[in-house]
Chains A and B, each alone.
Chain A
Amino acid sequence: MSTFKKFLIVIMLFAMLSACGPATTPEPVQEEPAPVEQEPVEEPAVPVEEVTPTEEPVVEEPEMEPVTIQVYYPVAVDAPITAILDGYVADFEAEYPHITVEPVYSGGYADVQTAIQTTIEGGGTPPALAVLLATSLYDLINADYIAPMDQYVAAMENGQAYLDDFLPAFMANSYYDDQLWSIPFQRSAVVMYYNVDKFADAGIEPPTSWQSWAEAAQALTTIDGDTTNWGLKFSSDWPYWLFQPLAIGAGQNIFVDDCTMAFNDPKVVEAVQFYIDLSKVYGAMPEGVQASWATDTADFSSGSVAMIAHTTGSLTGLLNQAQFTIGVMPYPGKEEGTYASVPGGGNFYIMKGAPQEQQDAAWKFIEFITSPELAADYSIQTGYIASRFSAFDTPAMQEYTAKVPQALQARDALQYAQAELAIQNLGQVRSIFHNYIQKAFNGEMSAQDAMDAAQTEAEAALEPFCQ
């Protein structure tokens, strides 16, 4: 009897174990046979739903095997990205019935990159397509994760025109070794938001130089009992991005190329000093490092703070909350009449480890989703800047910018933009820069000493990459 019971228990245990088995090895899930059954169901629906005049599917269909691709997306702004992209995927699948797209949402940019890294290093097949930071370029190339896209553009009827249609600032991080590695998708920029009503009430014009910027911020700083209504707030908890336009406005970006930093260039040091002076000399901004990225938008839209440095990604939220007219402009530069900005956000990358037919399908999806119409639609729905010039000529966009002229102001800021910090060994060099610039902001070191130390350490950190 008891041996029989034991026998039963052992069998149950093995059953449990085998049930647990697949959980420990998740990779096989990524194989692609599934769509075979799905395809015939979807096909009849196509002509009814869409009236797209493209002949491509008709030509390609007989030669095309069904293929399924995964697309990894980060969700980095306060917009229903998931629902919006699901809609685009449905439209895409209607136009290319042999391709099935599985969008995978897995957190922010860092999470998506970590997920892909872990998959590849664990021996798995990566997704064919991913949206990752434009600045991750060198890390992704060095790790051998991504494939260049030149052959796809060459095969296009009007490939160069396609590339030229993207805003140049957004293409700044797409090339390396004369090859094209990424296509802009959800892009933003650093801008300065200002409260137009406050400026009008005080009879001040929007600033056109560091001097007039600092004076405006000083004039608009008011003390109201216990609280100070600051003229300017400028967060520095993750400082490189918001700081870059200050350096560019002084005449020197913080880096020259992927192996050369300009941290202690006299113009960059001057920009660090200007940030410090805004509080120390002009009293127009709270002193020291401000870990206020998340709270600055609330302070601005409540009308307390007159100007903030922030991302264009916050535009939609600010417009919804503010009870006054919002102005969007690039940072004023040091010299009268100069301005500066820096782009940000994510690009499409095709993953090298995915099978060739998936990579090809991924390019089709990129082409589809970066069409002027969808680029315009995505911009309107999310607040990202439309990545292509022609997107601004679409009827939908024209209607939108007539109502929301700030979207055009945000785009126009980009003509003063230079490249976002994208270098070899990005993580480490960026940490070094953050360490020292924060020491300068907090008065632990002088601007010159801090930037000298940052330059020395960064050069050491780049040595193994750049010999």
Chain B
Amino acid sequence: MSVIKSSAKKQKFNVFPYILTLPTVIFVALFTAWPVILSIYKSFFLQRMNIAKFREPTFIGLDNYLDLFADPNFHQVLKNTFNYVIGTVPISIFLGFFFALLVNRKIFLKGPIRLAFFHPMVLPMVSAATIWLFFFTPGYGLMNSALRVLGYSGPENWTGNPDLALLSVIIVAIWKNSGYYMIFYLAGLQKLPGDVFESAQLDGANGWQILWKITFPLLRRTTVFITTIAFIDAFRTVDHIFVLTTGGPSQASTVLLFQLWQERFENQNVGLASAITVIFILVLLIFTVTNFLISEREEK
């Protein structure tokens, strides 16, 4: 009885925590929740800023969504986005993990090597992409010269070839992000308890077994975190696409956010751009919630 009573007493409404979170709530409401609501609302309207008669919004129900899904170009954009995310996220996470293992050991020139892996992160994406523009140059470009030394004799026009354009922006994204993910893995590795590894070694586990049975599982929370930021990053980084391919050739490297920018600011189609925004948010939301639920379940 007394237990119930005291807990009831504890649960007495306390305004203080709410006041503390109020500033955050206001900011999130103003800059995240409100724009989302506005986008959902506007996605049901026909509004095109560059046509006088369509400047005032008219309600058209789901037409924007229907138009999008009937448009083969939009299918291409979704496919590109899917390929881009699948192409960048797993590989850059794997490389980040691999680099972290590498520089966590006592190796020669550890500092400079860590710096070499991490420095792409420090560069702004636009500068990085401009540098890569020269790497990709057919003929004398560094990328092609290096590949030729390795025996490559395929097409060299990376950014202008419809089969390679998306791959080239994926390569730049992987190069840019791996070092960043390495930092998180490195921090995780250095926090791991040493005694677990000692006992594993005493039990006769080899290096490979230790890595996959102990190190990697222990870093699961880090992996969940990195997967989430890598996924969101893959959706929201388009700077290098502007510099390298401007979404081309023939839309071969146009991804969702690039398409959104084009619809909103080049074509000035507010309704359609809002519909793309809603799709964009839904995809991110589904992924984040799934990722969260899976990690929560595994926690139990």
A residues adjacent to B (C-beta < 8 A): 6, 9-10, 13, 16-17, 20, 24, 110, 113-114, 117, 121, 138-139, 142-144, 226-228, 236-238, 286-292, 294-295, 424-428, 430-431, 434-436, 438-439, 441-442, 444, 464-465
Q: Sample 7 A-B pairs with CB under 8 A, ordered by A number.
A: A110-B266, A143-B55, A295-B137, A427-B265, A428-B266, A464-B54, A465-B51
Q: How far is the CA of A6 from the CA of B246 in the complex (A)?
A: 54
Which of A24, A142, A294, A439 is in CB contact (< 8 Å) with B250?
A439
**Interface assignment of B188: CB less than 8 Å from any CB of chain A:** no
- Shortest distance from the beta carbon of A351 to any chain B beta carbon, whole Å: 15
Q: How far is the CA of A226 from the CA of B48 in the complex (A)?
A: 52
**Interface assignment of B19: CB less than 8 Å from any CB of chain A:** yes
Assuming the A-B contacts A227-B140, A238-B246, A295-B137, are A290 and B157 also in contact, with contact meaning beta carbons closer than 8 angstroms in the complex?
yes
Q: How far is the CA of A3 from the CA of B51 in the complex (A)?
A: 59
Assuming the A-B contacts A143-B49, A294-B130, are A286 and B138 also in contact, with contact meaning beta carbons closer than 8 angstroms in the complex?
yes
**Interface assignment of B204: CB less than 8 Å from any CB of chain A:** no
Q: How far is the CA of A226 from the CA of B265 in the complex (A)?
A: 43
In the bound complex, do residue B249 and residue A441 qualify as a contact, i.e. CB atoms below 8 Å apart?
yes
In the bound complex, do residue B250 and residue A444 qualify as a contact, i.e. CB atoms below 8 Å apart?
yes
Q: Please give me the 8 A-B residue pairs with the lowest Cβ-Cβ distance, nearest first.
A: A427-B266, A289-B160, A291-B159, A438-B249, A289-B249, A438-B250, A427-B267, A139-B50
In the bound complex, do residue B250 and residue A442 qualify as a contact, i.e. CB atoms below 8 Å apart?
yes
B50 partner residues in chain A, CB cutoff 8 A: 138-139, 142-143, 424-425, 465
- Shortest distance from the beta carbon of A272 to any chain B beta carbon, whole Å: 14
- List the one stretch of B22-30, B101-109, B215-223, B232-240 in contact with chain A: B22-30
B267 partner residues in chain A, CB cutoff 8 A: 425, 427-428, 431
Q: How far is the CA of A427 from the CA of B161 in the complex (A)?
A: 23
A424 partner residues in chain B, CB cutoff 8 A: 50
In the bound complex, do residue B52 and residue A237 qualify as a contact, i.e. CB atoms below 8 Å apart?
no
Assuming the A-B contacts A227-B139, A289-B160, A427-B262, are A294 and B133 also in contact, with contact meaning beta carbons closer than 8 angstroms in the complex?
yes
Assuming the A-B contacts A143-B55, A289-B249, A438-B250, are A24 and B160 also in contact, with contact meaning beta carbons closer than 8 angstroms in the complex?
no
A465 partner residues in chain B, CB cutoff 8 A: 50-51
Which of A16, A228, A442 is in CB contact (< 8 Å) with B139?
A228
- Shortest distance from the beta carbon of A422 to any chain B beta carbon, whole Å: 13
Which of A6, A237, A288 is in CB contact (< 8 Å) with B16?
A6
In the bound complex, do residue B251 and residue A435 qualify as a contact, i.e. CB atoms below 8 Å apart?
yes
**Interface assignment of B87: CB less than 8 Å from any CB of chain A:** no
- Shortest distance from the beta carbon of A441 to any chain B beta carbon, whole Å: 7
Interface size in chain B (residues, C-beta < 8 A): 41
- Shortest distance from the beta carbon of B283 to any chain A beta carbon, whole Å: 23
B26 partner residues in chain A, CB cutoff 8 A: 17
In the bound complex, do residue B160 and residue A237 qualify as a contact, i.e. CB atoms below 8 Å apart?
yes
B residues adjacent to A (C-beta < 8 A): 16, 19-20, 22-23, 26, 30, 48-52, 54-55, 130, 133-134, 137-140, 148, 157, 159-162, 165, 244-246, 248-251, 262, 265-269
Closest-by-CB residue of A relative to B155 is A288
Q: How far is the CA of A441 from the CA of B269 in the complex (A)?
A: 29
In the bound complex, do residue B157 and residue A13 qualify as a contact, i.e. CB atoms below 8 Å apart?
no
B248 partner residues in chain A, CB cutoff 8 A: 237, 289, 291, 434-435, 438
In the bound complex, do residue B23 and residue A16 qualify as a contact, i.e. CB atoms below 8 Å apart?
yes
Closest-by-CB residue of B relative to A3 is B16
In the bound complex, do residue A142 and residue B52 qualify as a contact, i.e. CB atoms below 8 Å apart?
yes
In the bound complex, do residue A13 and residue B137 qualify as a contact, i.e. CB atoms below 8 Å apart?
no
Assuming the A-B contacts A236-B160, A237-B245, are A13 and B265 also in contact, with contact meaning beta carbons closer than 8 angstroms in the complex?
no
Q: How far is the CA of A110 from the CA of B138 in the complex (A)?
A: 29
In the bound complex, do residue A237 and residue B159 qualify as a contact, i.e. CB atoms below 8 Å apart?
yes
B52 partner residues in chain A, CB cutoff 8 A: 142, 144
Which of B30, B137, B148, B268 is in CB contact (< 8 Å) with A292?
B137
B165 partner residues in chain A, CB cutoff 8 A: 291
A24 partner residues in chain B, CB cutoff 8 A: 30
B48 partner residues in chain A, CB cutoff 8 A: 464
A16 partner residues in chain B, CB cutoff 8 A: 23
Which of B51, B130, B160, B266 is in CB contact (< 8 Å) with A142?
B51
